[in-house]
């Protein structure tokens, strides 16, 4: 099946997809992001460089292996009731690390008030 990849905007074979987290300030529901193999490979390289996992409403298939490679586990029922990837060592340090990650996943959140 050939379709347009949302990563590189080229027509390509779609091998993976995910749904980004809903922007709390947007009324529009999150759209499915389709990715070709090149974009999946680049995504994986980028996340490995960041040393952290993506925060998505619906995970991409590649995230399971990426999490294994980087030592993350899926923790359900987090602060927003969904779930997040966490490193077991960081859970033990308290919830500050987890909150930090959620804030990183939502751009433009103003918490100064």
Tell whether residue 60 is a contact of Zn ion (CB under 5 A): no
Residue with Cβ nearer Zn ion (5 or 60) = 5
Of the candidates 96, 97, 72, the residue with the CA atom closest to the CA atom of residue 85:
72
* CB nearer to Zn ion: pick between 37 and 109: 37
Rule CB under 5 A: is residue 5 a binding residue for Zn ion?
A: yes
Q: Which residues on neighbouring strands pair with residue 14, listed in sequence order?
A: 36
Residue (11 or 50) nearer to Zn ion, CB: 11
Smallest CA-to-CA distance from 57 within 26, 78, 30, 85 is with 30
Residue 8 binds Zn ion (CB under 5 A): yes
Binder of Zn ion out of 14, 15, 18, 36 (CB under 5 A) = 36
Q: Round to whole Å and give the CA distance between 18 and 48.
A: 18
Quickly count: other Cβ atoms within 10 Å of residue 91's Cβ: 13
Nearest distance, CB of residue 64 and Zn ion, angstroms: 20
Q: Which residues contact 101 (CB under 8 A, 6 or more apart)?
A: 52, 55, 84, 86
As given in the structure block, the two tokens for residue 43 are 């995504």
14 contacts Zn ion (rule: CB under 5 A): no
CB of 20 to Zn ion, least distance (A): 16
- Chain residues binding Zn ion by CB under 5 A are 5, 7-8, 36, 39
């Amino acid at each position: 099946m050939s379709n347009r990849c949302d990563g590189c905007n080229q027509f390509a074979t779609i091998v993976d997809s995910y749904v980004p987290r809903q922007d709390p300030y947007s009324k529009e529901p999150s759209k499915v992001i389709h990715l070709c193999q090149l974009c999946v490979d680049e995504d994986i390289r980028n996340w490995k460089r960041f040393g952290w996992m993506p925060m998505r409403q619906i995970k991409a298939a590649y995230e399971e292996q990426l999490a294994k490679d980087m030592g993350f586990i899926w923790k359900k029922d987090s602060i927003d009731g969904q779930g997040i990837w966490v490193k077991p060592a960081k859970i033990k340090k308290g919830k500050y690390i987890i909150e930090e990650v959620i804030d990183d996943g939502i751009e433009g959140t103003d918490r100064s008030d």
